[in-house]
Amino acid sequence: MMKLNLGQKAAVLIFLVLLIDQSVKFWIKTHMMLGQEHRIIGDWFIIHFTENPGMAFGMKFGGSFGKMLLSIFRIVAVFGIGWYLIHLVKTKAKLGFVLSIALILAGAVGNILDSAFYGLFFDKGLVYDPSLNDWTPYFGQAQLGGSGYAGFLRGSVVDMLYFPIIKGHYPSWIPFVGSEQFVFFRPVFNIADSAITVGVLIILLFQKRFFKHERE
């Protein structure tokens, strides 16, 4: 069996993350309706279909103009991360560090694909309504084809992983949120978000090992 070099290992990891991420998103998008969910492990692990017009983990960033700015920023960031990954491969950096950056790059690219092309390829999606100053939902299952629901870089990101592990209420004495319900973990996210998070966590946990040479 051919032994993969450092660059090839990073490329394979990026390819696998993108393949899984996009396959899951395509299936969710074409087989579930917005807001529909399937309980996998009781109330702890739920596949909940939602679309995110903004940043990771369901956060929003302005309206349609903000969405475009965010998409452009993501593309610039991807080129920067890609350049850095190539530099790490050429300088033969630690395998764990290279793969961590590869995870972050794969996650960023995965969400950019949604923003860039889903509005062109699918007939339904979350769109911004200026008259309501909000993003409006749709009904039914989306399908490939048609004229699309949004322009280039204006598509919404598909999210589906939901882990409401702990539910309860804030103590009544806490200002502003007293007695209100809280859920941990509330955000709905996707495989690409997970790849970014895992990559960052690995770097934080093993930074002393990864940057030992620089410290010396």
For the annotated catalytic residues, the residue numbers are 159, 193
Burial of 172 (0-12, 13-18, 19+ CB in 10 A): exposed
Neighbouring-strand partners of residue 61: none
Q: Of 109, 137, 108, 116, whose CA–CA distance to 125 is shortest?
A: 137
Please report which residue ranges of the chain form alpha helices under DSSP H.
Answer: 6-31, 64-90, 95-113, 119-121, 191-205, 207-210, 212-215
Q: Of 158, 160, 134, 141, whose CA–CA distance to 64 is shortest?
A: 134
